[in-house]
Structure 1
Amino acid sequence: MRSGLKSCIGFFLLLWTGIVLPGACTCKGGGDMISEMREFDSFFSTHVDSVATAPRRMRTQVLQRMKAAKDSLVRYNYLSVALKTCLATSDIDSAQLLIREIEDFTGRQPFSHRLADLQSECLNMKGNIYSRKGYIDSAEICFKKAYEWRLQGTKPETVPDILINLADANNHLGRLDMGVFWYRKALLICDSLNMPSDRKFPIYYGLAQGYMTLRDYEQCDYYSELAAKNYDEMLPDEKHFYLNNRGNSYYYRGDYATAIGYFRKVVELVKDYPDMRWGLNLSYLNLSDCFLQRNEADSAAKYLDLCEPFFKEIGSTTALYYIDTQKIELALQRKDFAEARRLLTVSKASPEIDADMIHIRNKYLQQFHEETGNYQRAYDYLKKNDRLDDSIRNERIRMRTADLTLRYQQDSTLMAHKVLFQKQENEVLALRQTRLVTLAIAVIAFLIAVFLYLYNRKKHDLLLAQNRRTVSTLRLENIRNRLSPHFIFNVLNQEVVNRREEEKQELASLVKLMRRNLELAEQLCVTLSEELDFVGTYIDLESRSLGATFRPDIKIAEDVHPEQVWLPSMMIQIPVENSVKHALRGKEGERNLWITVDRQERGIRIKITDNGGGYRPDSRHRGTGTGMKVIMQTIQILNMKNKEAIDVAVHNVTLPGGEVGCEVTFLLPDKYDYKI
């Protein structure tokens, strides 16, 4: 208990850093409060599973969010989530402290639907604490109040969870008929809200528990099998509850081997979740009883020693009474009558102990007095158990009768509602049929009109696109047919003028140039490698006529891969030819030609620069401009099909030596489509 107090104090200090003057701060703007509340709802719906699977980490997150929240109601909603994590880690002292904080806050606030949700949440958690401590009467009162407050709140989908707790409390109080009633009411609400099947399995295994207590094992197995269909979707604490109930059902049938199998599954389950101390120790307690029934005293003692410190720490009167009862039987099996007598003198029954445990204690007391020779006392306890058996049997018969009555009333009410709903549905259906037929005809006519419109538009667009492609192809063919003879004519004239003797190398270069020109004339685009190869052949031929003063320079950046770069064919060749023919041929001194290719942010940049004096429209060396017109028309047609265009720039530049030259720049965008 002292360690629990330390954790309580530590948690309170952490809590106080997150809340400054609890309840005194309220949000100034209603819009901010709504926004923060929506943020809380979104956070909780997303991380609700973490309350069971990672409660300590979840607690840290909610405390951080609580500190950042401006509205006090939102802040205390986060605090209610921290309260859930305390229950998940069996930190009862801290949980009680938080409940007092929340109750103090809600008691000072005016009514609102969201405040009703918070009060319901607090009362539900308070009932869980009473239930764990064995104060079932107080737990039932809390659960009823939580149910009433929840009906005034904004989250009806959480009502079944409270009704499950209320039903479970009634089962522990021996009011099994009411337990089954609340379970069935929770199931009815789930159906009315159209909740998915994975929200119903807690009700199924709760009903299974109720029928187990009534010893109606057929109904118990039926609902257990319904719950088992969603076993993989259950949270760890839900799996524990299901497996524990299954084990109990086989315990009461006397099938202790199967019961032990289920309880061991619980132990294996909770070992992966260190915070599920309650479930682990409850399984130890159940295992010890099963081994006692099988006369395996050593195994029973082992599990009793494991669970007793935990239940003493949390002060669970019911569990401690159960432990003392098992210790009495353990002493009897070991023939340790002195220990059995000591336990009988120090162990007292409290009003919260249910009849089944009293029956088990009386059976052990009868056995003790038989083995110690006090047959009169043994006979007295035998008669007590007989009377208790008759009372329990009569009570179960009464509760079964009450259960059947409640089921009949619920089924009758449900049937009456169904008949009324069916009658109303038939009336509505009759009214809707005429509207549906009229609407269907209108919709069909509208769809036919839309189809015809879209079909004609699509057909028109296809014809228009086909015509555009045809025009574009014809225009390009016309451009190419003009370009190829023009280039070949210029080259052959130059060779005739400057040629003095037959040289194989010159002839080979000329033939290569003409063949490559014809190939390029048939292609819309080529790779940069192919274009530069053609330009290089042309420059080699021109170098012989221009002499040693002609100095071409081609530079390609390292991050440019010529085989992977595409461009319109002869896009570099035409500017190079213009530089040689119109700028450099008649120039005195050094005649320089630079071709540089590098990568820019938008794509590949190609520059052709010379030192021939620059472009002058009034120059006598100015040509017809046919070549550049062909290139510009080609680029214009291609740009029409692309979002990003090829940029072309022609301007004069001043070179480092003071000379003036002409520079032609092309910028080829990445992901450019060269298809027509």
Structure 2
Amino acid sequence: MNQRATMRLFGLLGLLVLLGCGYADKHHSKSLCELTFVDSLETRVQDSLFSNVLYSRSQVRDALAQVQDSQYYYRLLALYGKTFFVSSDFDSVFYYHRRVKAFSPKAVRCPRWNSVLAEIYNMEGNVWMQLNRPDSAMMNYKQAYKYCLEGEKLQRLPDICINIADAYLHRGDLAHTASYYRRALFLCDSLNLSEHTKFPVYYGLGQTYMDLRDFDLSNHYYELAEQFFDDMNVGEKWTFLNNRGNYYYYRKDYQEALKYMRRANELVSAHSQMVFEQNFIKVNLGELYVLTDNLDSAQICLDESYRFFQKIQHNSAVYYIETQMIELALKKGNMAQAQKMIARTNPVGHLDANMLTIRNRYLQHYFERTGDYRHAYEYLKCDRRLDDSIRSERVQMRVAELDMRYQQDTIVLRKEIQIQQQAAEVRVLKLNVYIWVLVCVLLVAGTLVIIWYMRKKREFLRERFFRQINRIRMENLRSRISPHFIFNVLGREINQFNGSEEVRNNLMGLVGYLRRSLELTEKLSVPLQDELDFVRSYIDLEKGRLGEGFTSTVTIGDGLDATRIMVPSMIVQIPVENAIKHGLAGKDGAKELVVYVSCQENGICIMVTDNGRGYLSQVPSATHGTGTGLKVLYQTIQLLNAKNKNDKIRFDITNRNDGKAGTQVSVYIPFRFSYDL
């Protein structure tokens, strides 16, 4: 019972583990699916944000209802807030960003979430810049820069540097402005970004040097930026055209400035969501129309932009428009309207020095028209003091910018020198590594060559030794075969000797056979004719033992020259000897032995056929042999075939296949067979 309960408990625990793993896998898969969905949506919204903001906003709103993971939800909420920036609904931007910031302490800190925070702070910096609060904007931009360094979108760092530079530009700190623009260029190069990502830096530097009144350098950077005009999005094109128009405005080329401002106005007019940009460009157009005496057009532009900036409480823009309305009223002769604009309360916030200079000049015009020359003179002096101050400040800024550029160039030069030194050290190390690798490769190659040579030498010596051993073994075996037969024949013939002529002939034949046998056993190959003569001598000696019923034939096929065909020594003798000893000896009745040599394909075929008891190793023969002859023959053929890769000797022993009893030995020897060992 206890064992059964324990098994059930383990089974329950295993089931719980499997369910837990399945839930974890399902949750992980779902999380990955939501991540892919959010990434894809973010890309689509970024692409359509300026062209159709309402569609982009609806896409994000629908996605917010589907996403369940909190971190992905607030990431989408930050993107949702960005859509309101495009339509200049700044209160909604701050509202949704506050919700994301409130969730941030609960979020898992990772590079992806740091990128979300960087985007939020960067966007809020843009809002403060729109509201003419460069100090607040700079604080947000620097927070964005910090989070971006720890995020996954490092390619956004140059854009944030550009925004910081714009904030310094609005504060009038041109030295730091140029510094951050140059840092953005450095980051573009360090991150290996494409060349077209640098054009915002180019027209930013163009504006900076325009404010420093270095028009040549400003024009250089504007021309660099203009090369990438077709690659810019709508917002970037608008910024470039506006800044390029300002360049000609400060050069007092108002007609050229009007051309660029009109292009900018046409561009943003086609995008209804770019409300801020539409009204901003109308302010610039209104001023240019005032300067070129297009008073009706100026009135329309200034009135429309005035209503918009009053509504969003952009005090600096309102103040600037009222300043232009003073001059417009004076040119129209409407003194009451001019007085009304002058009487308005000055706004709270940052005021550009150029704006104050323009206002003082227009106030001077007003008092001159009213005959109050004392106030006109005061504004003239004030304008000169301010102009001197601006000129002095511009000189100081120019010096500071040159000094900062020198420091940056010096730092860059030191880094380049250090990088070059390190690169030289790396090259030396690489060269050393290459040398050692080459040495090691040569050593390994040399070792392999030596090993290969020694192995080949050992194989050659082993093979030569093997050939010598086989040659000695074959000679030894042959020497064992011939005496064995000779002694048997001599014993039998001596016992039968009665002094007759036949015995004498047999003895003479035996002597001849012995002499010939000794000659052949010393050679590895012999002419076919010599081998067959030797076989005939052997058969003649064996006729007496086999009786009158024995018949033998040795035939050579037509077209064969037996004197020129080489065959292994005893290749025919041993099969014939085995046929007589094991097949025909002791057999009753007719005994037949046939040796036939014929031409076959590219060689000769030697057939040794008898009508004996057949090739059955388990059947005892009348005379028992040691099997040494066949062993020698097989070893000889094997040794010769090893040296002849393509043409080989084939040796087969089978029973006759013509319906008769007996053994058939077939030997195929190629014509081009080599006997050189």
Using structure 2 for the length normalisation, give the TM-score: 0.59
Q: CA 1:37–1:187 in 2, change beyond 3 Å: closer, same or farther?
A: farther
Counterpart position of 1:625: none
Distance, in Å, in 1 between the alignment partners of 2:148 and 2:227 is 29
Q: Are the aligned partners of 2:133 and 2:349 in contact in 1 as well (CA < 8 Å)? A: no
Counterpart position of 2:642: none
Q: CA 1:349–1:90 in 2, change beyond 3 Å: closer, same or farther?
A: closer
1:126 corresponds to which letter in structure 2? E
SS in 2 for 1:53: coil
Asked if 1:169 is matched to 2:167, the reply is yes
SS in 1 for 2:293: coil
Counterpart position of 1:48: 46
Deviation at 1:350, TM superposition (A): 2.6
Counterpart position of 1:195: 193
* Residues 603-661 of structure 1: per-residue CA shift (max 9 Å, x gap): xxxxxxxxxxxxxxxxxxxxxxxxxxxxxxxxxxxxxxxxxxxxxxxxxxxxxxxxxxx
Matches within 5 A, 1:573-584: none
* Residues 392-420 of structure 1: per-residue CA shift (max 9 Å, x gap): 11111111111111111111111111111
Counterpart position of 2:180: 182
Q: CA 1:427–1:45 in 2, change beyond 3 Å: closer, same or farther?
A: farther
Deviation at 1:110, TM superposition (A): 6.0
* Residues 199-233 of structure 1: per-residue CA shift (max 9 Å, x gap): 11111111111111111111111111111111111
The size of the alignment, in residue pairs, is 419
Matches within 5 A, 1:509-588: none
Aligned partner of 2:299 among 294, 298, 301: 301
Deviation at 1:107, TM superposition (A): 4.6
Distance, in Å, in 2 between the alignment partners of 1:329 and 1:282 is 19
* Residues 282-325 of structure 1: per-residue CA shift (max 9 Å, x gap): 11111110111122222211211232222222221111111100
Counterpart position of 1:64: 62
Distance, in Å, in 2 between the alignment partners of 1:394 and 1:49 is 45
Counterpart position of 1:335: 333
Aligned partner of 1:365 among 363, 366, 370: 363
Aligned partner of 2:286 among 285, 288, 291: 288
* Residues 228-279 of structure 1: per-residue CA shift (max 9 Å, x gap): 1111110000000000000011111100000000011011111221111122
Matches within 5 A, 1:593-672: none
Aligned partner of 2:315 among 302, 317, 323: 317
Deviation at 1:68, TM superposition (A): 1.9
SS in 2 for 1:415: helix
Distance, in Å, in 1 between the alignment partners of 2:152 and 2:163 is 20
Counterpart position of 2:152: 154
SS in 1 for 2:65: helix
Counterpart position of 1:515: none
Q: Are the aligned partners of 1:92 and 1:314 in contact in 2 as well (CA < 8 Å)? A: no
Deviation at 1:119, TM superposition (A): 2.1
Distance, in Å, in 1 between the alignment partners of 2:233 and 2:277 is 13
Q: Are the aligned partners of 2:326 and 2:342 in contact in 1 as well (CA < 8 Å)? A: yes
* Residues 427-468 of structure 1: per-residue CA shift (max 9 Å, x gap): 2223334656898998xxx9xxxxxxxxxxxxxxxxxxxxxx
Asked if 1:106 is matched to 2:107, the reply is no
Q: Are the aligned partners of 1:324 and 1:347 in contact in 2 as well (CA < 8 Å)? A: no
Deviation at 1:115, TM superposition (A): 3.1
Q: Are the aligned partners of 2:248 and 2:256 in contact in 1 as well (CA < 8 Å)? A: yes
Counterpart position of 1:267: 265
Distance, in Å, in 2 between the alignment partners of 1:336 and 1:177 is 42
Aligned partner of 2:135 among 134, 137, 155: 137
* Residues 491-533 of structure 1: per-residue CA shift (max 9 Å, x gap): xxxxxxxxxxxxxxxxxxxxxxxxxxxxxxxxxxxxxxxxxxx
Deviation at 1:103, TM superposition (A): 2.1
Q: Are the aligned partners of 1:33 and 1:74 in contact in 2 as well (CA < 8 Å)? A: no
Deviation at 1:113, TM superposition (A): 3.5
Using structure 1 for the length normalisation, give the TM-score: 0.59
Deviation at 1:29, TM superposition (A): 5.2
Q: CA 1:108–1:380 in 2, change beyond 3 Å: closer, same or farther?
A: farther
2:75 corresponds to which letter in structure 1? N
Q: Are the aligned partners of 1:124 and 1:146 in contact in 2 as well (CA < 8 Å)? A: yes
Distance, in Å, in 1 between the alignment partners of 2:37 and 2:162 is 28
1:85 corresponds to which letter in structure 2? T
Distance, in Å, in 2 between the alignment partners of 1:310 and 1:263 is 19
Distance, in Å, in 2 between the alignment partners of 1:374 and 1:355 is 25
Deviation at 1:281, TM superposition (A): 1.4
Q: CA 1:195–1:377 in 2, change beyond 3 Å: closer, same or farther?
A: same
1:204 corresponds to which letter in structure 2? Y
Q: Are the aligned partners of 2:41 and 2:60 in contact in 1 as well (CA < 8 Å)? A: no
Distance, in Å, in 2 between the alignment partners of 1:39 and 1:405 is 50
Q: CA 1:124–1:344 in 2, change beyond 3 Å: closer, same or farther?
A: same
Deviation at 1:38, TM superposition (A): 4.9
SS in 2 for 1:148: helix
Q: CA 1:382–1:67 in 2, change beyond 3 Å: closer, same or farther?
A: same
Distance, in Å, in 2 between the alignment partners of 1:194 and 1:354 is 37
Q: CA 1:379–1:417 in 2, change beyond 3 Å: closer, same or farther?
A: same
Q: CA 1:285–1:70 in 2, change beyond 3 Å: closer, same or farther?
A: same
1:297 corresponds to which letter in structure 2? L
Counterpart position of 1:205: 203
Q: Percent identity?
A: 39
Counterpart position of 1:423: 421
Q: Are the aligned partners of 2:315 and 2:349 in contact in 1 as well (CA < 8 Å)? A: no
Counterpart position of 1:352: 350
Q: Are the aligned partners of 2:174 and 2:208 in contact in 1 as well (CA < 8 Å)? A: yes
Counterpart position of 2:80: 82
Distance, in Å, in 2 between the alignment partners of 1:439 and 1:228 is 52
Q: Are the aligned partners of 2:71 and 2:107 in contact in 1 as well (CA < 8 Å)? A: no
1:431 corresponds to which letter in structure 2? L
Q: Are the aligned partners of 2:241 and 2:261 in contact in 1 as well (CA < 8 Å)? A: yes
Aligned partner of 1:409 among 407, 410, 425: 407
Counterpart position of 2:453: none
Q: Are the aligned partners of 1:211 and 1:217 in contact in 2 as well (CA < 8 Å)? A: yes
Deviation at 1:52, TM superposition (A): 2.2
1:353 corresponds to which letter in structure 2? L
SS in 2 for 1:69: coil
CA RMSD of aligned residues (A): 2.5
Counterpart position of 2:231: 233
Q: CA 1:436–1:181 in 2, change beyond 3 Å: closer, same or farther?
A: same
Distance, in Å, in 2 between the alignment partners of 1:31 and 1:205 is 46
1:199 corresponds to which letter in structure 2? T
Distance, in Å, in 1 between the alignment partners of 2:194 and 2:305 is 37
SS in 1 for 2:419: helix
Deviation at 1:35, TM superposition (A): 5.4
Q: CA 1:376–1:192 in 2, change beyond 3 Å: closer, same or farther?
A: same
Q: Are the aligned partners of 1:301 and 1:330 in contact in 2 as well (CA < 8 Å)? A: yes
SS in 2 for 1:48: helix
